Amino acid sequence: GAVVSQHPSWVICKSGTSVKIECRSLDFQATTMFWYRQFPKQSLMLMATSNEGSKATYEQGVEKDKFLINHASLTLSTLTVTSAHPEDSSFYICSATDHNSPLHFGNGTRLTVT
């Protein structure tokens, strides 16, 4: 079936540095991708929706300058956490759709900022 690959699966970075997370659709063209964030023992919170070739639409309360999303092709979207701080430590998950099939999720990325 359709697969979404998310990379890296985990990353540790120092405070103040930037981290890029990739989300790739491997066998379909993802016209829309979603980025979620999950805090421990909490639900997945939608951060933003990105459509290929357009600017991402961010949910209320999500800093667009902090979480940069690029969806430049039909198979790749990236989330860059800029100037990361310990409070950005979380589990980030992407999902993708071609609008003809159900959502497919990546395996998630565990970010730890020290």
Partner 1 sequence: GNSVTQMEGPVTLSEEAFLTINCTYTATGYPSLFWYVQYPGEGLQLLLKATKADDKGSNKGFEATYRKETTSFHLEKGSVQVSDSAVYFCALSEGFQKLVFGTGTRLL
Comparing CB distances to partner 1, the nearer of 89 and 91 is 91
Please report the beta strands in the chain, taking only residues with DSSP state E, as ranges in sequence order.
Answer: 4-7, 10-13, 19-25, 32-38, 44-51, 57-58, 67-73, 76-81, 90-97, 104-105, 109-113
Smallest distance from the beta carbon of 17 to partner 1, in angstroms? Answer: 26
Closest CA to 23 of 103, 113, 100: 103
Strand partners, 24: 5, 76
- Tell me the closest approach of the beta carbon of residue 44 to partner 1, in angstroms: 4
Closer residue to partner 1 (CB): 28 or 36: 36
Judged by beta carbon, residue 37 or residue 88, the one nearer partner 1 is 37
CB of 16 to partner 1, least distance (A): 30
Can you give the length of the chain in residues?
114
Residues lying near partner 1 in the complex (CB under 8 A): 4, 6, 32, 34, 36, 41-46, 49, 93, 95, 97, 99, 102-108
